[in-house]
Structure 1
Amino acid sequence: MLEMAMKGKRTNLGNADCGIARSLEVVGDWWSLLIVREAFKGRERFGEFQKAIGLAKNILSARLKKLVEHDIFRIEPDADNGVGHRYVLTAKGEGLYVVLMALWQWGESTCFKPDEARYAMVDRQNGEPLARIELKARDGRVLGPRDFVASRMDDKAAA
């Protein structure tokens, strides 16, 4: 299946046994994550997303439709515009904040030259930069990139 995707053919990953693959089926193109990023900045209207990202209207429309179908956004009437509507992040959509911050931190540390001007993500309450995201075991140990493996869950472990 992944071999076909690598050859340029679109593969549906929605039934894959991997959480990463299924997630990519929903938000795997960069436009979708940029739309979600803009929603965290307070944008809710089609025109706001289009202006902020510069995405062609037909592509933006398709991405928003998919994000609504997957319950990342819900559509609500726009009180300021009787005929318009707003795209509001759902709880599922808001859960993507950890993914976006992990990408932000990775990008900050690997995609910029040391002298490039850039923004910092800061705590809204005190203005301090955010701590690096860490993956932790249930007992609190910080895990590194080779400290975990995928393990099939049996019926008892899943309960």
Structure 2
Amino acid sequence: MVKRTRLDDESCPVARSVDAVGDWWSLLIVRDAFDGSRRFGDFQRSLGVAKNILTARLRSLVDNGILDHTDRDYTLTTKGEALFPVIVALRQWGETFAFEPGEPHSQLLDRRQHRPLRPLEVRAADGRRVTPDDTEVRKLP
């Protein structure tokens, strides 16, 4: 078996984030938790993943403080709920680039207005929209 490279001591926030939730099963578990899944069987039915893989991913999400686990339920923590914009961004990217025109797919709707969400945008502190060309990475001491 290939040993997984750990990134939890990297100085890059993206690397540390990927270390915590970058596994595709983990992100799909988080997605399902936002959609209301709470029990092991709910996640397994939705994902069709082997029990041993699901057990390991759920344990990792609990260990990383993304999910809480009680006797029967898994629930998102505040840290887990903070992943909502990440899941929305992945969903919106997928809606734009992962389907052929007219191909059926699911869509995230505003519960109050029953309409799709506006595309997420990255904004500067002053409110203006920023692109990759408008940003730089600076290491903190």
Q: TM-score range by the shorter chain?
A: over 0.9
- Which residue is 1:129 aligned to? 116
Say yes or no: does 1:66 pair with 2:60: yes
- Which residue is 1:144 aligned to? 131
Q: Secondary structure at the match of 1:103?
A: helix
Say yes or no: does 1:57 pair with 2:44: no
Q: Secondary structure at the match of 1:142?
A: coil
Which residue of 73, 82, 91 maps to 1:95? 82
Deviation at 1:67, TM superposition (A): 0.4
Partners of 1:48 and 1:118 in 2: CA distance: 21
Say yes or no: does 1:107 pair with 2:62: no
Deviation at 1:128, TM superposition (A): 1.6
Computing the radius of gyration from Cα coordinates, the structure with the larger value is 1
Q: CA RMSD in A?
A: 1.2
Compare the two structures and name the one with the higher strand fraction: 1
Deviation at 1:115, TM superposition (A): 1.6
Q: Identity of aligned pairs, percent?
A: 48
Moved over 4 A (4+): none
* Count of equivalent residues: 140
Q: Which amino acid aligns with 2:104?
A: A
Partners of 1:52 and 1:59 in 2: CA distance: 14
Q: Secondary structure at the match of 2:73?
A: strand
Which residue of 20, 25, 32 maps to 1:31? 25
Residue deviations 1:48-71, cap 9 Å, x none? Answer: 100110000000000000000001
Q: Which amino acid aligns with 2:47?
A: I
Q: Secondary structure at the match of 1:135?
A: coil
Residue deviations 1:55-95, cap 9 Å, x none? Answer: 00000000000000001011123xxxxxxx11111000011
TM-score of the two chains, using structure 1 as the length reference: 0.84
Q: Which structure has more RCO (C-alpha within 8 Å, separation ≥ 6)? A: 2
Q: Secondary structure at the match of 2:70?
A: strand
Partners of 2:132 and 2:119 in 1: CA distance: 14
TM-score of the two chains, using structure 2 as the length reference: 0.95
Partners of 2:106 and 2:52 in 1: CA distance: 30
Partners of 1:108 and 1:21 in 2: CA distance: 25
Deviation at 1:9, TM superposition (A): 5.1
